Amino acid sequence: MNQNETGQQSYTKVSLVFKFLHGSKRYFLISIAAALCVTGVDMLSPQLIRTTVDGILGENALQLPGFLVDLVERIGGVGYLRERLWLIGGLLVLLALLSVTFRYLFILFNSRGAESLAETMRNCLFSHIQRLPFAWHMQNQTGDIIQRCTSDVDMVKNFISEQLTSVFRIVILIILSLLFMFSMNAKLTLVALASIPIIIAYSTYFHSKISSQFMKCDENEGILSTIAQENLTGVRVVRAFGREKYEKDRFEKQNNIYTNLWIRLCRLLALFWGAGDLISGLQVMLIVIFGSVFCVRGSMTAGEFIAFISYNAMLTWPVRSLGRMIAEMSKAGVSIERIRYIMNSPVEQDKPDAVTPDMNGDIAFENVTFAYADTPILSDISFRIPQGTTFGILGGTGSGKSTLMHLLNRLYDLPPENGRITIGGVDITDMKGSWVRSHIGMVLQEPFLFSRTIAENIGITRRNMELSDIRWAASIACVDDAITEFTNGYDTVVGERGVTLSGGQKQRTAMARMLTQQTPIMIFDDSLSAVDAETDARIRQALKKNLRGSTVILISHRVTTLMQAECILVLDKGRIAEMGSHEELMEKGGIYRRIYNMQMTLPEEVAAHGV
């Protein structure tokens, strides 16, 4: 783990996994210990069967450590055990019970570790995403982000819990199985080992192919999730424009691409597992053939042959598991890389000496120039908004009106060479971002409402807000009367993204939510576009009456919304075209007057979108 250009931690795949394992390591360690105990117990059963067949039922000497031979003699010798085979059966049952107990502990702690790991991963991802810049969210699709936080998290969790924790058990199984097998028959052990290089070779070959194919599947699942998410949230638009068939065909086309990619991946996996089954089957067949020959020739006893087959089965499973682990590692590697992309994305950071100054001051834009990627938006913008005044901004679509406010609210950071924005003489880049946003209220043209009650949506700005405060804000936004007419009043659930409210009601509800902050600076970004002229006038009158002392910035296409502002800024293609009061701009006879004349002669619903 190192640091990126911004000085933040930059994770490698391994360091990121260890970060996520914090809090769940102890569960995985206990599960690994239990798995090792299972291995140890399972190794004893074939030896017990071998000893019973050769030394108790047969005439061979007991192949046991000295202290066990002495123990058998003390309890009555081989004859005693031959007459009481139920003791051997009981011992096998005891070993089975121990194995079951340790397997239960393995599954219990492994599952708890897996869920703890997934919880940590989801919490870390969500927390990190919350702190990523607004620009990052604009560049990454929501559906793809969701897919990384769900499917990719599950893939990493499953690999660590189902594959990685088995490594220790697999290694021990291979070592002990080979030791016991060599002790019984070295030649037959070499026959068993002949398949291992082949399994490793074809697993390595399939590793890169599976990895690249799974990457395509994962990326296309993100695209599919994005299409589904957009259609579910925009269902009213789809229905309103009769686009159901178009969107269905679009979804089915992407779903078909995604399905075909998975079919191709499944073909690869089928070849991979089919080859593994063939090689494993051939290996077992060779062991049975050569083992039978060795038994007939007398170089191997029946008990040894039975035990050898048991150990070979134990050897075959872990070797094949290593091959499967390589395949699963391919998929998990893709998933952790996609998660790593999020975790390594730089979060917003304040300067080390960031300040929290008084926000009751003049706002000044000084030679501000800004572009999205290579698209210029603002060019050399300079103006001042005196504290406590109402400032209007008028301009056509794409003229940079909203960008000005996004820069003021630090949703985008302004590079030092592109000018500066100050409040009370302090550059906003020298302030804490959270401080800036907590003192600048903003209502957007298309507000977002959560799937909660109206009261919860309005009162979301602080905990345990009194209903009287909520209704005070709603009355200024001229939405209190409409809310009280609902059957459940302020307890009405607005539905996902406020779908049960009209456009004007959503805007006014969002406005009420912002008013509860009682910030010294309030921005209304074309947030009255969905209300009629009469309600617009009532809201502006209520704002003027109740928000004295606050700096109010109105952005609108409607001239009547801006007429009462002390100063109006007219933008044209990212530059200041005109600035002044309504009367001054009318006298100039420029863009503002032309828009005014047009809107005064056109029907209101057309004039509202005038420029």
* 422 within a domain of the structure (yes/no): yes
Do residues 140 and 218 both lie within one domain? Answer: yes
- pTM comes to 0.71
212-242 b/e (C-beta count within 10 Å ≥ 16 → b): ebbbbbbbbbbbbbbbebbbeeeeeebeeee
Residues 527, 444 contacting (CB under 8 angstroms): yes
Do residues 504 and 425 both lie within one domain? Answer: no
Torsion sign across C-alpha atoms 30, 32, 35, 39: negative
Give the C-alpha separation, 510 to 445, whole Å.
Answer: 10
Check residue 322 and give its pLDDT.
Answer: 66
Do residues 110 and 224 both lie within one domain? Answer: yes
* Cβ-Cβ contacts under 8 Å for 542 (sequence gap 6 or more): 475, 476, 477, 478
Check residue 514 and give its pLDDT.
Answer: 87
* 279 within a domain of the structure (yes/no): yes
Do residues 513 and 527 both lie within one domain? Answer: no
Burial of 298 (0-12, 13-18, 19+ CB in 10 A): exposed
Do residues 82 and 225 both lie within one domain? Answer: yes
Do residues 45 and 87 both lie within one domain? Answer: yes
Do residues 46 and 72 both lie within one domain? Answer: yes
- DSSP letters, 355-371, are B-----S-EEEEEEEEE
Do residues 37 and 102 both lie within one domain? Answer: yes
300-338 b/e (C-beta count within 10 Å ≥ 16 → b): bbebbbbbbebbbebbbebbbbbbbbbbbbbbbbbbbeb
Domain boundaries, position 174 = 2-343
Vertex 246 angle, CA 242 and 250, to 5°: 150
CATH number of the domain at 465, please. Answer: 3.40.50.300
Check residue 605 and give its pLDDT.
Answer: 46
* 543 within a domain of the structure (yes/no): no
Do residues 167 and 267 both lie within one domain? Answer: yes
* 349 within a domain of the structure (yes/no): no
Give the C-alpha separation, 506 to 51, whole Å.
Answer: 81
Do residues 383 and 460 both lie within one domain? Answer: no
Check residue 60 and give its pLDDT.
Answer: 62
Do residues 33 and 160 both lie within one domain? Answer: yes
* 223 within a domain of the structure (yes/no): yes
Residues 109, 31 contacting (CB under 8 angstroms): yes
Check residue 607 and give its pLDDT.
Answer: 45
Give the C-alpha separation, 287 to 281, whole Å.
Answer: 10
The number of folded domains in the chain is: 3
pLDDT profile of the chain (611 residues), mean per 10: 59 87 89 86 75 66 60 67 74 87 91 91 91 85 84 88 77 76 80 77 74 78 79 68 78 88 84 78 82 80 76 71 69 86 89 89 92 84 92 86 88 88 92 89 81 85 84 87 86 71 81 87 79 76 78 86 88 90 89 86 51 41
CATH number of the domain at 42, please. Answer: 1.20.1560.10
Do residues 505 and 475 both lie within one domain? Answer: yes
Q: Which of 302, 317, 343 is the last residue of a domain?
A: 343
State the DSSP H helix or E strand holding residue 440, giving kind and residue range, or none if neither. Answer: strand 440-443
* 544 within a domain of the structure (yes/no): no
* 393 within a domain of the structure (yes/no): yes
Q: Which of 292, 309, 343 is the last residue of a domain?
A: 343
* 511 within a domain of the structure (yes/no): yes
